[in-house]
Homo-oligomer: A and B are copies of this chain.
């Protein structure tokens, strides 16, 4: 039965879909936590872009930002929340679902 809003596309998480945020989430998903500078260099974004995108992810409750020191130098650590991890996995599952779209023969 065909229902409005049933295409998996509607279940994509817009916040995660942007390439930068997707990459940041993927990075954090593979580690308990990561330094701001490490993520910035790995994902290859500017300080300002990472800072702003992380603020959005934090607002959404997907990422936590912890500030501390390494010696006397300030350092910021990023980590996924449980919610963020779930949202990321769900988003990836939806992408796969879309990518694997199967149109039955006869229909087209």
Tell me the A residues contacting B by CB distance below 8 Å. 2, 4-10, 12, 17, 19-20, 22-23, 26-27, 29-35, 38, 41-44, 92, 95, 98-103, 107-108
Contact = CB atoms under 8 A, between A and B. Distances in A.
Top 8 A-B residue pairs of the complex, sorted by shortest distance between their CB atoms: A26-B101, A31-B103, A34-B108, A9-B23, A7-B44, A30-B103, A92-B99, A9-B19
Contacts of A8: 23
A10 B44 contact: yes
A92 to B, nearest CB: 5
B9 A43 contact: yes
A49 to B, nearest CB: 12
A42 B7 contact: yes
Given A6-B44, A38-B108, A43-B9, A101 B19 contact: no
Nearest to A95: B95
